[in-house]
Amino acid sequence: MLGTTLSTLKTLLKAEIGNALSVVTAEDTAFTSMFILGQRDLADQFDWPHLKMRYDASVGASTQYAQLPPSMNFDRPVGVAVYYNSSWLPLRYGIDTVEYNTYDFSEGQTSEPIQKWQRYWQGSGVQQFEVWPVSTSATSVRFVGQRMVTDFVDGNEAITATLDDLLLVYYVAATYLTRIKNPQAALAIEKFKGRLSQLRRNAPRRSGYAVMGGRQLVCRRRRVWGEDVEEELPSTDGAFFGSDSQHFGTDELVFGTD
């Protein structure tokens, strides 16, 4: 279940590991930290369907840098595309000398559409991304990826979990019992793996493309400076990028093997 409060998570955890439910001990603070770490770890391991998000960043004319989606998890794969000629065209990652030798905005050179992007850090705390070539006209760059989880805060028991409650409880229980060398750790690990398998098995999956009005995907070649790339792109009669569902649970998490 999603949206369970930290207070309830701790109660479930204590029941799972055999601690007194009504007694608040110094371990409660440690449990909060373990739930924070556990939720972050699990969020970074898989593409969770309910965390999928889209963010359209506005990129002005002659603008080299724009703000990244503030709530997107860039520790997971992110798809990026630019809106051009009524279609979303995928962007490739990486801008280096070969690109600047072709179009260098420091010399006032612009073109369109944007072909590449990369993350950019100015040291001011604001996360940005760079585009190449810098677009002559204003456009939008779409990011499709995973939303960051909301961290728990010790002392605020009303904060709710972003991920499944039983998955988090079994994960923390397995971590805790393994740490104190409790013989019940093996059972907790199996319960965690079983819950994870169930969530992955029941997760919604995209079965295929829905083609409406005769619209088809076409394979065409697109020139990227220094590379010649053949990729599957939508026909130009409508926007397509960002409508696809990401694969869920393609990675395997092996617990307690260290």
**pLDDT over 50 (residue 5):** yes
What residues form DSSP beta bridges with 153? 156
Q: What are 188-195's contacts with CB under 8 Å, separation 24+? A: 188/16, 188/17, 189/255, 189/256, 192/167, 192/255, 193/255, 195/164, 195/166, 195/167, 195/170
Mean pLDDT of 66-86: 95
- Res. 220: pLDDT tops 90: no
pLDDT of residue 202: 86
Specify the higher pLDDT residue, 74 or 215.
74
- Nearest residue to 145 via CA among 81, 199, 209: 81
Task: Give the H/E segment covering residue 145.
Answer: strand 139-147
Is residue 217's pLDDT more than 80? no
HSE of 54 in the Cβ direction (CA atoms, 13 Å)? Answer: 14
pLDDT at 155: 85
Mean of the pLDDT values across residues 86-101?
Answer: 96
Other residues' Cβ atoms within 10 Å of the Cβ of residue 125: 6
Query: Which pLDDT value is given to residue 28?
Result: 84
- The answer, yes or no, to whether residue 213 has pLDDT greater than 90, is no
Tokens representing 224 are 């990227």
Q: Would you kindly state where each structural domain of the chain is located, as residue ranges?
A: 6-47+163-202, 53-144
Q: pTM of the predicted model, to two decimals?
A: 0.76
pLDDT score of 54 more than 50: yes
Segment 214-221 mean pLDDT? 47
Q: 120-172 pLDDT, tens per residue?
A: 987 766 789 999 999 999 999 999 999 999 999 988 989 999 999 999 999 99
- The total of other beta-carbon atoms located within 10 Å of residue 193's CB is 17
Please, what is the Cα angle at 96 between 81 and 92, to 5 degrees? 20
Query: If you average pLDDT over every residue of the chain, what do you get?
Result: 83
Question: What's the confidence (pLDDT) of residue 230?
Answer: 47
Average pLDDT over residues 76-88: 96
Packing angle between helix 27-45 and helix 165-179, nearest 10 degrees?
120
Alpha carbon 84 to its chain centroid, in Å, reads 25
Task: Answer for the pair 17, 173: CB distance below 8 angstroms, yes or no.
Answer: yes
